[in-house]
């Protein structure tokens, strides 16, 4: 089939390359001429495992090419995927739909002039009711064009895998022809038994937001339990293991730590709350506001515990931060908990040096005041405390005995629960982690669980960084 993908950000580029790899003829469209030129040469604008190789292969095969022209896109295919960003609005928690609206408005005249039936498929994450509104908007100019909604469920770091072998395909359609077209697009997946869920437009929109809200709730729940463990001496890791053994709950996303970030979960739960409030149903999802607050509080708790570990003040202290990306396997620093903590500590007077295997350049662009290092020992030189904030696998391979030789004080906060506490402690390190203050022994003499909860002295400037939603396009 011939397909277009409008928007070559994270979702769009992965979708375009994967559809081309499945054998479709795909045209990618973006208004950024520099980006299109770079993509045509096989250069990816962000890091995603496997995407670079996929891009080169599909370009060389002739199945994928790029343009800035919507007119060319309308002529090229009858099925158009819209993959532009829907970030959080700067003035509210609602989703900013300007880019989706602009694509529909700009594409519609070309579809009208060409005539004939065509399908415009939204993949962007939007508030429920958007597709119906866009259907009416598009129909006024190009009545032969049909809308469908096909949300994506990508995990950064696994996006290629999630696109080629998804757990399910959800299609919101308004006609049998629209459904048949999408079944044709995904025919190779359907042949291997991947479930195809056909539904209405509103349900398809809501599925993505509901899924992300549920995942965010699990993360905040276990972090709330970690707070109780800090106050009582219980072990959150054992708690999570025991609770996760319940088949109704499971272990997925029941990992205590610094909380969630990135371009999806934070803004999606806020957008869902905002839309519910518009519908007069704010009380129904009010718990998501608490989910968001617990998540943001984890960042303040990390700063409070780090401050305690350096003696109560960051002034004149050296802080090493391991991790800047919001998650391993990505160079994305949008709403990164790690970067928010690093910046918050810097604003309280510490010298902060950050290491990340992939995200240093993007992190430096967001917070140029921080120092950055290209290797772990350099980032930890003369550190008074080391903060493990992004769970890159290579951090689990660090030799704590060797690292102890370069720091000023062998003290580490494992905010991701991915390090071997016994190994670090046997190498002479003071080791701390949320929900595990005792680590199997008596409380350390310098630990005051209550002080970790006294986090309200963070000033407004620091607080603004904990829920940043700027960054890269979708």
Q: Which positions are annotated as active-site residues?
A: 264
Residues 280, 283, 288: CA angle, nearest 5 degrees: 115
Q: Which of 134, 181, 178, 171 has the alpha carbon at shortest distance from 151?
A: 171
| The residue to which tokens 């928007």 are assigned | 7
* Cβ contact 332:362 at 8 Å: yes
Tokens matching residue 279: 């519908």
Q: What 8-state DSSP symbol labels residue 393?
A: G
Instruction: Provide the 8-state DSSP code for 189.
Output: H
- The pair phi, psi for residue 222, each rounded to 5°, is -70, -30
Residue listed under structure tokens 């203050």? 437
**What whole-number distance in Å separates Cα of residue 302 and Cα of residue 298?**
6
Beta bridge partners of 196: 169
- Asked whether 86 and 474 are in contact (CB, 8 A), the reply is yes
Rounded to a whole number of angstroms, the distance between the first and last alpha carbons of the chain is 25
Q: Which of 471, 472, 455 is closest to 463 using CA atoms?
A: 455
């Amino acid at each position: 089939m011939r397909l277009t993908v409008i928007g070559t950000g994270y979702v769009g580029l992965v979708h375009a390359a994967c559809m081309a790899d499945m054998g479709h003829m795909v045209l990618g469209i973006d208004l950024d001429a520099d980006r299109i030129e770079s993509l045509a040469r096989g250069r990816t604008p962000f890091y995603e495992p496997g995407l670079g190789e996929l891009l080169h292969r599909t370009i060389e095969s002739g199945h994928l090419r790029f343009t800035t022209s919507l007119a060319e896109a309308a002529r090229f295919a009858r099925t158009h995927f819209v993959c532009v960003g829907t970030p959080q609005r700067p003035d509210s928690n609602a989703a900013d739909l300007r880019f989706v609206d602009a694509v529909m408005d700009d594409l519609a005249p070309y579809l009208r002039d060409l005539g004939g039936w065509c399908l415009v498929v939204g993949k962007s994450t939007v508030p429920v009711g958007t597709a119906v509104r866009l259907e009416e908007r598009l129909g006024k100019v190009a009545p032969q064009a049909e809308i469908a909604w096909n949300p994506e469920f990508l995990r950064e770091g696994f996006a290629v895998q999630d696109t080629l072998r998804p757990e399910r395909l959800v299609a919101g359609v308004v006609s049998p022809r629209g459904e048949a077209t999408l079944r044709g697009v995904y025919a190779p997946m359907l042949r291997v038994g991947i479930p195809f869920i056909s539904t209405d437009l509103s349900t398809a929109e809501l599925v993505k937001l509901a899924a992300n809200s549920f995942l965010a709730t699990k993360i905040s729940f276990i972090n709330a339990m970690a707070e109780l463990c800090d106050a009582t001496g219980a072990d959150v890791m054992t708690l999570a293991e025991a609770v996760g053994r319940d088949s109704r709950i499971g272990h997925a996303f029941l990992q205590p730590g610094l909380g969630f970030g990135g371009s999806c979960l934070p803004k999606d739960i806020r957008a869902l709350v905002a839309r519910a409030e518009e519908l007069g149903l704010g009380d129904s999802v009010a718990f998501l506001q608490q989910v968001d607050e617990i998540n943001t509080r984890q960042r303040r708790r990390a700063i409070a515990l780090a401050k305690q570990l350096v003696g109560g003040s960051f002034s004149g202290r050296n802080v090493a931060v391991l991790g800047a990306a919001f998650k391993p396997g990505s160079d994305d620093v949008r709403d990164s908990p790690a970067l928010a903590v690093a910046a918050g500590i810097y604003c309280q007077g510490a010298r902060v040096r950050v290491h990340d295997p992939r995200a240093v350049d993007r992190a430096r662009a967001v917070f140029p005041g921080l120092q950055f290092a290209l290797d772990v020992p350099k980032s930890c030189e003369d550190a008074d405390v080391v903060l493990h904030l992004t769970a890159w696998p290579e951090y689990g391979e660090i030799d704590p005995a060797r690292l102890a030789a370069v720091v000023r004080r062998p003290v580490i906060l494992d905010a991701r629960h991915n390090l071997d506490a016994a190994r670090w402690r046997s190498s002479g390190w003071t080791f701390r982690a949320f929900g595990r203050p005792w680590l199997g022994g008596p409380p350390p003499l310098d630990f005051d669980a209550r002080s970790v909860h006294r986090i309200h002295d963070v000033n407004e400037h620091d607080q603004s960084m904990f829920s940043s939603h700027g960054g890269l396009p979708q």
